[in-house]
Chain A
Amino acid sequence: AQTVTQSQPEMSVQEAETVTLSCTYDTSESNYYLFWYKQPPSRQMILVIRQEAYKQQNATENRFSVNFQKAAKSFSLKISDSQLGDTAMYFCAFAHMNRDDKIIFGKGTRLHILP
């Protein structure tokens, strides 16, 4: 069965610092999607970034970037120049490509940005 593991339940960093959130996953497939979602205190889930497994280039979205290591089955999220508004729960997620299947979420990392 596919699993998504986020090994850091909670993290805190100072504003303007860079922080990296870890995510590993387990699958025997070679084609899939990986996602990072953000859930701020308002509770609405928001997509932060997405990576297709067949793409070698790491996805980037403004201050958010990923380090996708396919062989290691690792998908970490880097937040540069962190802001107070980045305080949220962050969920890593996995979905097979071209399969009739559902997204699998990790348990989340709670990130606190300190002023």
Chain B
Amino acid sequence: DGGITQSPKYLFRKEGQNVTLSCEQNLNHDAMYWYRQDPGQGLRLIYYSQIVNDFQKGDIAEGYSVSREKKESFPLTVTSAQKNPTAFYLCASSLFSAGYSNQPQHFGDGTRLSIL
């Protein structure tokens, strides 16, 4: 079955450490997204990518970085510059970008990141 796989499910970060969250999809979707979810905040967009080797900042990109070397993969690195990284992170994908797509976004199961 096609879907989005996020790993790990739980992740702990030490002070000053960079950590990378994995997101893989086998839906052949063009666009991929990273969201951060905090209690009472809903979903906030961190980065998104509509094609390979191209990505754009979302609303809260500071302290994060991404790459899109393959269509299937869109890893998110939480850098030490992100001072409040504790949150639930959701990866999503869609056919073309959201505005063009007749398919709504599909989501992974999420990664919960905590500070040690």
A interface list, Cβ under 8 A from B: 9, 32-33, 35, 42-47, 50, 91, 95-103, 105-108
Contact B33–A102 (Cβ < 8 Å):
yes
Contact B43–A91 (Cβ < 8 Å):
yes
Least CB distance, A37 to chain B, in whole angstroms? 8
- Residue-wise, chain B 88-116 has the 8 Å CB interface mask toward A (1 for contact) of 10101010011111001101111000000
Contact A100–B110 (Cβ < 8 Å):
no
Q: How large is the interface on B (under 10, 10 to 19, 20 to 34, 35 or more residues)?
A: 20 to 34
Given contacts A100-B99, A100-B100, A102-B98, contact A44 B42 (CB under 8 A): no
Least CB distance, B21 to chain A, in whole angstroms? 14
Contact B104–A35 (Cβ < 8 Å):
yes
- A-B contact sample (15 more), CB < 8 A, given A43-B109, A99-B100: A33-B104, A35-B104, A45-B90, A45-B105, A45-B107, A47-B104, A91-B42, A91-B43, A96-B99, A100-B99, A100-B100, A102-B33, A102-B97, A102-B98, A107-B40
Q: Is B45 part of the binding interface, using a Cβ–Cβ cutoff of 8 Å? A: yes
Question: Which residues of A lie under 8 Å from residue B109 when comparing CB positions?
Answer: 42-44
Q: How far is the CA of A98 from the CA of B14 in the complex (A)?
A: 43
Q: Which of B40, B48, B50, B97 has the most CB of A within 10 A?
A: B97
Q: How far is the CA of A35 from the CA of B98 in the complex (A)?
A: 11
Q: Is B53 part of the binding interface, using a Cβ–Cβ cutoff of 8 Å? A: no
> What are 6 A-B pairs with beta-carbon distances under 8 A?
A44-B109, A46-B107, A47-B104, A97-B99, A102-B33, A103-B33
Q: How far is the CA of A45 from the CA of B104 in the complex (A)?
A: 11
Contact A99–B99 (Cβ < 8 Å):
yes
Contact A105–B42 (Cβ < 8 Å):
yes
Q: Is B63 part of the binding interface, using a Cβ–Cβ cutoff of 8 Å? A: no
Q: Is B84 part of the binding interface, using a Cβ–Cβ cutoff of 8 Å? A: no
Q: How far is the CA of A106 from the CA of B42 in the complex (A)?
A: 6
